[in-house]
Amino acid sequence: MSAKVLIVDDEPEVVRLLEVILTRAGYQVAKAYSGRECLSLLTRENPDVILLDIMMPGISGLEVMQALRTIYGSVSMPPVIFLTAKGGMESMIEGLQAGAYKYLVKPTSREKLIEIVRLALEYSETKKRPPLEPDWM
């Protein structure tokens, strides 16, 4: 079964484009058009990765990130990739300090997006694994 990516963006055109790119790359896709919708879909969709816009009406991506950390805790939370038009070093640092796996500025290339999602999934797998025991035990 392929990994599921939850796309959260208030712009339907962006969501559709990301859905096409990720579906063609072999991922399952769930969609939310607001921070509130994202939070309400979590238990039903159980995403492996979340692509999250920062600038959204109502609940911002940073506020969604705070809620995700409360809901999941730091260990079981799926990797969050901020994908936003909000560039600048200060915004990037704020996003990463909030706990994002990666911070991408729109537009980004299809190849880069797919590679970052793949790396986020690999990171998630290693993070959730129990520690390895030495061979001599």
CB 6 within 8 A of CB 45: yes
Backbone angles phi, psi at 72, to 5 degrees: -95, -30
Going from the N-terminus, what domains does the chain have, and what CATH number goes with each? 4-128 (3.40.50.2300)
Contacts of 15 (CB under 8 A, 6+ apart): 7, 9, 31, 33
Q: Which of 87, 80, 84, 89 lies closest to 39 in space, CA to CA? A: 80
* Segments in the chain below pLDDT 70: 1, 74-75, 127-137
| pTM for this entry | 0.87
pLDDT tens readout for residues 21-45: 999 999 999 999 999 999 999 888 9
Q: Contact, 80 vs 52, CB < 8 A?
A: yes
Query: So what's the pLDDT on residue 96?
Result: 85
Q: How far is the CA of 132 from the CAs of 122, 125, 136, in angstroms?
A: 17, 13, 12
